[in-house]
């Protein structure tokens, strides 16, 4: 049954990493956005048959904006797996090895592919693959992020206001 006590610890630490990082971003990318994305992604996942990997979905949802290209350097954004590797390896002693079981790579790949801008670019350049079309974990996080972007408060609108205020 998800989550196990070990999974709860991992999720808690991912949440701490996200909160610390997101506190430096504008209101369109705050922790409340991430909490909504996580909640919706898990609800979508639980409605699917077979149920996708809920730990992958929850971690990818929590981390999906940590390396958002609007807020980090291209160098930082270019290697999500490398960036999150210390986090992924920290859990080996708990019996959950996110590196060995490949879930760390999957989480990083999802984080790198959630954004609509990235999808549009990859489709235009022919980089869109079968994985992008079939990965249920990606779809749960991606759809949740997009639903929140068009939600009542309009995340995209918030981002526009922030950028206009800076100009």
Tokens representing residue 100 in the block: 């060995």
113-124 per-position pLDDT tens digit: 999 999 999 999
In three-state form (DSSP H/G/I as H, E/B as E, the rest C), the secondary structure along 57-121 is HHHHHHHCCCCCCCCCCHHHHCCHHHHHHHHHHCCHHHCCCCCCCCHHHHHHHHHHHCCHHHHHH
What average pLDDT score do residues 53-65 get? Answer: 98
CATH code, domain with 103: 1.10.3210.10
Give how many domains the chain has, as a whole number: 1
How far apart are the C-alpha atoms of 48 and 157, rounded to whole Å? 31
What pLDDT score was predicted for residue 29?
Answer: 76
Q: Which domain holds residue 32?
A: 5-166
9-45 per-position pLDDT tens digit: 999 999 999 999 999 988 777 899 999 999 999 999 9
Segment 85-88 long-range contacts (CB within 8 Å, at least 24 positions apart):
87/13, 87/14, 87/17
List phi, psi (to 5°) of 163.
Answer: -65, -35
């Amino acid at each position: 049954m998800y989550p196990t006590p070990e999974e709860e610890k991992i999720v808690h630490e991912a949440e701490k990493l996200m909160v610390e990082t997101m506190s430096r971003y504008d209101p369109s990318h705050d922790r409340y956005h991430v909490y909504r994305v996580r909640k919706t992604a898990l609800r979508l996942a639980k409605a699917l048959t077979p149920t996708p990997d809920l730990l992958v979905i929850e971690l990818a949802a929590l981390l999906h904006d940590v390396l958002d290209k609007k807020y980090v350097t291209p160098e930082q954004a270019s290697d999500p797996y490398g960036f999150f590797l210390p986090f992924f390896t920290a859990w080996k002693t708990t019996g959950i090895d996110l590196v060995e079981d490949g879930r760390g790579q999957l989480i990083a790949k999802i984080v790198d592919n959630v954004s609509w801008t990235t999808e549009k670019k990859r489709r235009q350049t022919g980089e869109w693959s079968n994985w992008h079309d079939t990965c249920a974990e990606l779809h749960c996080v991606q759809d949740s992020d997009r639903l929140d972007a068009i939600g009542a408060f309009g995340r995209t609108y918030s981002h526009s206001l922030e950028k206009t205020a800076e100009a």
